[in-house]
Amino acid sequence: MTRRFEVLADAEAVAAATADRLLAAGRNAIRRRGRYILALTGGSTPLAVCPLLVVPPRVRMLDWSRVEFFFGDERAVPPNDPESNYNTARLALLDYLPRLRMDQVHRMPCELDDLDGGARQYERELRNVIGGPGVPRFDLIWLGMGADGHTASLFPGSAALDERERLVVANWAPSLEAWRMTLTYPMLNAARETMFVVTGDDKAQALAAVRSGSTEPPAARVRAQRTLWLVDEAAADASGAVEREAATAGTIR
């Protein structure tokens, strides 16, 4: 397992590096395995990154017909709700990609009354689509981190932090007093690569804890085969904990 931090000047530079890494990982996966298994993040980050992917030259850099889109987490809302991660991804990215079929997009069924049943259904879909022995492996899971150190919908104090068997669960977020659906650590840590995208000085304390080796922030417990952290100076410099690296995101193979 490898973990690397890269500091970029500002949120715009982080967004560009994120878009480029998404494409580089996709080209590599398609070349090696014929398709790209990708999990999208929620939150506000996609609103900065996705517009970069749907216009030339980047939109021409990947065969979108060979990408399977999943989600790392979702709010317990219908798919057309403004708060839905799927809805955000659809409006910012999926509706604009050439050669993309809707059967390539696998949203979490969070509109169901039985959210736990929906999580089990999503786990079956993961296994059926990705296949392979053991835990299915994503080529890349795109993640963010909250100021409290949460990632996906793995929140401090939530039950899903201790899940070791199931790959997808319904999870109560104590700080939000709301239900979410989320991938669990067994699924996140089986990935070939996870990519954290973190901007803003409100993330500095949590980032410092991650960089110091603490396992208290839920995000710090994600250790895939490769873990890349793309962060801006506002987060990194304030934390005093991340080393500046000159290498670009696209250098991971």
Nearest to 108 by CA among 153, 147, 62: 153
pLDDT at 149 over 50: yes
Q: Is the dihedral of CA 13, 17, 19, 20 positive or negative?
A: positive
Phi-psi region of 121 (alpha: psi -120 to 50; beta: other; left: phi over 0): alpha
pLDDT band at 238 (very low <50, low <70, confident <90, very high): low
**Architecture of the domain delimited by 2-245:** 3-Layer(aba) Sandwich (3.40)
pLDDT at position 245: 40
Task: Please state whether beta strands 178-183 and 168-173 pair in parallel, antiparallel, or not at all (unpaired).
Answer: antiparallel
Interval 155-189: pLDDT, tens:
999 999 999 999 999 999 999 999 999 999 999 99
Give the span between the Cα atoms of 113 and 222, in whole angstroms. 29
**Which of 209, 77, 227 is closest to 147 using CA atoms?**
209
Hey, where are the domains in the chain? 2-245
pLDDT tens for 186-201 read 999 999 999 999 999 9
